[in-house]
Chains A and B, each alone.
Chain A
């Protein structure tokens, strides 16, 4: 009950941001941050809750974006694209998920990296369809029965709504038996099997749900930024998504959003540092992992615990 008031205040603050900053750079940046947050929420299912390391999330993000861009540029009405994206990424996640179910940590990491690279290479070299390295531009925007958001601010509200939906779904899953099974699989696969959990099915589901989140975010990305190119979905981006999850707080829904927002805004805010920014970023990630493995989301509770402990 205590959480309601700060939550409501937070919601009002979030909704009021465009009033303070108007159209432009910051809103577009926040829109990208929100899209990243949805992708990271997806990553959380497989990695945060089920313990399956996944460096392929950027590839699913890209698949959703490219499916949408290619479809809408070919004249398909926008309303069909979320479904198309979901179909494509679900298929891809099965292709990635099925063979990798037996794999352990390092092998899984390498396989997901490989998957991401292969997808990127296909996008780069299938030039007639994907535009190759030039990317696709002039992508038609979101349009549902004639209604289309105009300008970054309207997109902002739309994306906030989608994020809220994504969070709700995630919360419900977490509280369901599926969510519990996921966490059990992460803690100890052997023990979970003993308790009757079909870990194979759970891992596959986690992958798929995560891919669907990323695919839908990709669909929105293509339709709101309206320009895509393969470098936005590369292996570097996959690592970045993973660090957003960890820095924000692996396993925590709030952490996903915090991590995405912080690591989308930080590189822009620290641009003046030039090359040093990446050095700082690397050291910062290490610092968070070493000192606050629960990520930024846990910092608040860590401080509270320290204050509460008797001296």
Chain B
């Protein structure tokens, strides 16, 4: 059973990372990016192109991937956010879904459908105690999540830029009126949001392999996590993610492995019925 906990938390950490990337963008521009999973996939493939195809050292491949993802995030913003400013949210949903379809199929054309592996940046024998196995990579996942949470907290609350981002999220128009470089702030949000998903992709590829359709399911779970935690709420997302990972793993083991995907949705619907604004409440309120 301890093994289920470890595996569930590792999986949940990935979900949490996807959700964090999603929320970074949402918190700034009120858009839910339904292509976040495809950004994860791109991160994985760019990492593989670097580390496997071009045989760069893993650390370099990671750095290159993160830079590439930041760039992709900005391009994404230009293609999706700017043209749709002010449009009803559900058109934005459709647009990001369409973007996800484009990215997935471009990936299929560029890299082909065969799954590929990415070596983990960490090596070493797995830890074993009390019948539970924790691999080095799983520890690396936990570590990365912790580091990112810390960095995100520091950036948002302790740096000037982070505070600007929060201001932009609160009220775009006022922020602009006050002279905040709104567009730059938004660009950074998209860049970081894409980078977070890219990191998730780099973490996922060594254990789950990378193939172009990997983004769909992981992205969906990321949204579910965001909903459970309450949109806008970062700690909520992390707790929600870990929680979902555990539920899926335990549900698959003790209830039925057939309905694994359904557990995520059932939990989400149950949470929403009881707390329509998510477990921890969303930050923003609907404008009248």
Chain A positions near chain B (C-beta within 8 angstroms): 47, 51, 53, 99-100, 102-107, 109-111, 113-115, 117-118, 121, 125, 190, 239, 242-243, 246, 275-276, 278-279, 281-283, 285-286, 289-290, 293
Contact = CB atoms under 8 A, between A and B. Distances in A.
A276 B220 CA distance: 24
Nearest to A125: B258
A287 B47 CA distance: 30
B220 A286 contact: no
Contact of B227 (A110, A117, A121, A293): A110
Interface string B184-201: 000000000000000000
Contacts of B100: 282
Contacts of B105: 275-276, 278-279, 282
A148 B83 CA distance: 51
Nearest 3 CB-CB pairs, A to B? A114-B265, A282-B102, A282-B101
23 contacts: A100-B272, A102-B276, A105-B90, A107-B272, A109-B93, A110-B268, A114-B265, A114-B269, A117-B261, A117-B265, A121-B261, A121-B262, A190-B288, A239-B97, A242-B94, A275-B105, A275-B109, A279-B106, A282-B101, A285-B94, A286-B95, A290-B95, A293-B87
B143 interface: no
Given A111-B272, A117-B261, A121-B261, 18 more contacts: A53-B90, A102-B276, A104-B276, A104-B286, A106-B223, A111-B268, A113-B265, A115-B265, A279-B106, A281-B98, A282-B99, A282-B100, A282-B102, A285-B98, A286-B95, A289-B91, A289-B94, A290-B84
Contact of B224 (A110, A115, A281): A110
Contacts, number: 110
B107 to A, nearest CB: 10
Given A111-B272, A290-B83, A106 B32 contact: yes
A252 to B, nearest CB: 15
Contact of A117 (B99, B258, B262, B273): B262
A103 B224 contact: no
A243 B94 contact: yes
Nearest to A191: B288
Contacts of A125: 258-259
B113 to A, nearest CB: 9
Contacts of B177: none
Nearest to A105: B89
**Which of A51, A100, A105, A125 counts the most chain B CB atoms within 10 A?**
A105
Nearest to B108: A275
A106 B231 contact: yes
A293 to B, nearest CB: 6
Interface centre among B108, B268, B272 (most CB of A within 10 A): B272
Contacts of B83: 290
Given A279-B106, A283-B102, A106 B94 contact: no
Nearest to B30: A106
Nearest to A109: B93
B97 A279 contact: no
Contacts of B150: none
A104 B87 CA distance: 16
Contacts of B104: 278
Interface in B50-107: 79-80, 83-84, 87-91, 93-95, 97-102, 104-106
Interface in B225-270: 227, 231, 258-259, 261-262, 264-266, 268-269
B270 to A, nearest CB: 9
Contacts of A111: 265, 268-269, 272
Contacts of A118: 262, 265-266
B258 A121 contact: yes
A289 B102 contact: no
Contacts of A110: 223-224, 227, 268
Contacts of A286: 79-80, 95, 98-99, 102
Name the residue in A114, A275, A279, A281 with the highest tally of chain B Cβ atoms < 10 Å from its Cβ: A114
Contacts of A115: 265, 269
A53 B108 CA distance: 29
Nearest to B90: A53
Contacts of A289: 84, 87, 91, 94-95, 98
A47 B88 CA distance: 12
Contacts of A53: 90, 93
A53 B98 CA distance: 16
B259 A293 contact: no
Contact of B272 (A99, A117, A278, A290): A99
Contacts of A121: 258-259, 261-262
A104 to B, nearest CB: 6
Nearest to B278: A107
B268 A114 contact: yes
A132 to B, nearest CB: 11
A120 B109 CA distance: 29
B90 to A, nearest CB: 5
B278 to A, nearest CB: 8
